[in-house]
Structure 1
């Protein structure tokens, strides 16, 4: 029988439930178990796809095309498994499905209620991952904080699910804040006590408590929490801030967290093998300790919230560790860039990256960034919108197409080098209707993209409505733009680049390769982009920049 672990949060949100859950997933996988993960979000949006990144950070896209919470990115990076559309569901999705069934007459004659209909639908989602995979363990993180009105139906569903599954087949981990009060010079347990009391009042006794704090939570404090919360002392764990999120698995492992979980679930605690992960973290700390840094400037529009570019930032870090270099990432607000200050703001950039995004705000700053990278031969990586602005910049300044842009920003522009995809015409619903998920791309021989991947046919994930306008294909390629990646039928332009004779490394893709980067396996385009940036910074050829430790080999 598949075992189920539920991770809840107490006191405040943004505690790191997702990192705790992902860390446990990695530890259980290191013991030989197949682990799958999912996130249950209590908000009423059907998915986060229509939310501003300022609300919930980046929208992470799964291989099968579901727009999901950013925590799924952590899950994939930690357990190295591709998750699915079943791995993230919301109250909105649950209600949408129930209302559709009610309108179809499935409940004819009956009253549709929170209990049993909503809770049954939530439990069905818990089971779906189990049914679709051969997972030994399914870890489900409940978004929000215990005590939130909107999360009550999920907590009740967990209570029912535990009863139905039987003792020893499920457990609950409660991640709670243990704040440090500077004036008293001590951490305080009362918020956690109240949070667990709230959880118990809803019928759930946690099996484990994980104490999140910016100070160490010593054994005496943990014993106090155990006593007041009716949890065994050896089931209260300390999870104070670590230098990196990638240190959390071993921080918990050193307290035998995963061993205790196996014992509670009746799983044979096979020998743990975290050697690959530990090599990565060792190399990461070694690289980050170096004083010499390679600077990557990321020009976006949501730069006030780094989580908006979480997967991009992590992918750059993965690549830096791969080469044993300290990569510093500077977030630049594209809206603040002008022709007068762009050289000053982007000075010192060893690489320039323009990530994905939507809307007109900051576009001209991004075009200026692409121009500076092209003209000054600074390595450039364009992601989704970053490819579109690179094409627009090339059309304007190399081909003489003044004002060339996307019809997303100017429907009447003279040179619409980026245009709405044909299958998007007439689409009015905004949620879940873009080109989403993994699509194939054929890479041309002799290109930087082909060199990065080392194979002809690759699959990357997408999230966009607009595409390269084929009406300008000949004009742009005649001027020197290289179409290095096309859809297998040759119709869609998926990747572009500049010739090596014109630029050391300038590549852009319509896809989002950051979603598939892993700590020990950096995304190919990010890896080669960082390699080119390091080479430029150190004044050597790209071929001279090699993996210091072979961490990803």
Structure 2
């Protein structure tokens, strides 16, 4: 039976539980174990699909169409294991399902309570779909002591009893702050945090202590003594120079060895970490540098584009290049005095990412026009592709009113609401009145590429599958008008109804895609479009 590792956090949020879970999964995987990582999110939204990027960061989409927390992106990038619908659950989803059961009468008249009904539902989620696994890592979002997370902590307590000794390990992340005025690291916050979770019935087995200063042996011993763990279980975790160095850093600190020791696994093989050392070698010893301008609407919060940022880094790894990202607010290009040339001319490549809503759209169109006219490598993703089509319609095809129905009624809907499409579950239908949550074209869909296209050359195939998250689509009825202006529809859905990719054969590198390729990029397997985009930007850098 699979063993469980529960990851919790205390003191403050944003201590890196997601990276800890992903790194630990990668280290166990490197020892030959089969691992799956899951996320418990205590918030009451059913999923993050309708949450603002400013509050939540990006929404990560799985192959099977789940809108999930961005930490699942870390899990996939570090382990290469594709996440499923069953790998992320929220309090909202738990309560929604329980209320639905209660309304059907499934509880046979019982009073529905947090214990046992909510905790049982959480345990059912944790124990589902685990056949063939050696370890299941479950990360609990938020901070111990939050009201929202209490049912999850209680479920962990029950699971540890249900599964028995030797089947579960609790890893707790804490902060050991440096107080500059005193010139000391303070262990008291860690002591309080461990006392808090222990009072809820979960005694941590391993402590990961985040600090910006090295953790002296005396402090480790003090933490061990007051937190009821051996010194070997107090793992120091300094801020890493790069997130892909974290697995190597945590292994050097003894994290995976200690977890296996608690499980009583003494004969595990040493981890094969060559691919992680190779990644860091490429990051540290690059041959070239390139600057990419990302023209978006959520640029003040980099987590809104987390997978995009990492995919650009992966493109740099593929080309042994350092990628400098300039986050450019699309709204700045909409002012009357905006100097688009001054902002974009230093860029070796321009990327317009996905997004929702009209704000910043004219600035994105201006960036597309600049890239087209100047021959700068351009990559448009989701809304970025749609803006590229609208730009071509307005400025080349003479369709001055070209727009998208997402922004309101228009006489020339170059982009419109997608009302029907085929999915693995059959025909999907939507309307303007459909709920926003969970109703987009979500998950992996196949596409057919033109044999002589640039994208087919980048992929090395004409049959691809990519992840989508959108409810508006380029109107195929405008295909002829746009192709006459050199914007070729080089990728279509298998039925030929939905445009998936556009490109300009007469441009050094100009590609727009309706899907989100950043979601499938890995440091040890960079997405071919990002590798190609960075390669084209490197060529551009040598011309200036």
Deviation at 1:142, TM superposition (A): 0.3
1:10 aligns with 2:14: no
Instruction: Give the Cα separation in 2 of the matches to 1:306 and 1:321.
Output: 20
Indicate the residue corresponding to 2:280 in structure 1: 281
Q: Aligned-pair distance for 1:427?
A: 4.5
The partner residue of 1:296 within 289, 292, 302 is: 292
Q: Would the aligned equivalents of 1:263 and 1:269 in 2 still touch at CA under 8 Å?
A: no
Asked whether the 8 Å contact 1:259–1:269 carries over to 2, the reply is no
SS at match of 2:455: helix
Q: Displacement of 1:426 after TM fit? A: 4.6
Kept in 2, the 8 Å contact 1:405–1:418? The answer is yes
Per-residue CA distance 1:100-121 (angstroms, 9 max, x = gap): 0001111232100000000000
Give the structure-2-normalised TM-score: 0.96
Q: What's the secondary structure of 2:165's corresponding residue?
A: coil
Per-residue CA deviation, residues 407-462 of structure 1 (Å, 9 max, x unaligned), is 10132x22110000023225521111100000001110111110110011100000
Residue matched to 2:111:
111
Give the equivalent residue in structure 1 for 2:427: none
Distance in 2 of aligned mates of 1:367 and 1:51 = 25
Pairing partner for 1:328 from 321, 324, 328 = 324
**Does residue 422 of the first structure (1) align with residue 419 of the second (2)?**
yes
1:530 maps to what in 2?
534
Rounded Cα–Cα distance in structure 1 between residues aligned with 2:175 and 2:254? 21
After superposition, what is the alpha-carbon deviation per residue over 1:126-175, rounded to whole angstroms, capped at 9, x for unaligned?
Answer: 00141xx4211000100000010111000000000010001000010000
Equivalent residues of 1:170, 1:265 under 8 A apart = yes
- Map of 1:63 onto structure 2: 63
Distance 1:129 1:346 in 2: 48
In the alignment of these two chains, the number of paired residues is: 532
**What is the aligned partner in structure 2 of residue 208 from structure 1?**
206
| Preserved contact between residue 36 and residue 129 of structure 1 (Cα < 8 Å) | no
Counterpart-to-counterpart distance in 2, 1:312 and 1:429: 27
- Runs ≥4 residues deviating over 3 A: none
Hey, what does 1:94 align to over in structure 2?
Answer: 94
Give the unaligned 5+ runs of structure 1: 541-553
Q: Is the 8 A contact 2:245 2:276 kept in 1?
A: no
Shift of 1:225: 0.5
Q: CA deviation at 1:478?
A: 2.3
How far apart are residue 266 of structure 1 and its match? 3.1
Kindly state the Cα deviation for residue 480 of structure 1 after the two structures are TM-superposed.
1.8
Q: CA deviation at 1:520?
A: 1.1
Contact 2:377 2:508 in 1 (8 A): yes
| Normalised TM-score (structure 1) | 0.95
Are 1:240 and 2:252 counterparts?
A: no
Which secondary structure does the structure 2 equivalent of 1:140 belong to? strand
**Structure 2 unaligned blocks of 5 or more:** 421-429
1:149-164 alignment to 2 at 5 Å? 149-164=147-162
User: C-alpha separation between the residues in 2 aligned to 1:456 and 1:321?
Assistant: 25
Could you tell me whether the CA contact under 8 Å between 2:377 and 2:536 is conserved in 1? yes
Aligned to 1:545: none
C-alpha separation between the residues in 2 aligned to 1:444 and 1:457?
A: 9
Structure 1 counterpart of 2:345: 347
Q: What secondary structure does 1:476 align onto?
A: helix
Structure 2 residue 143 is matched with structure 1 residue 145: yes
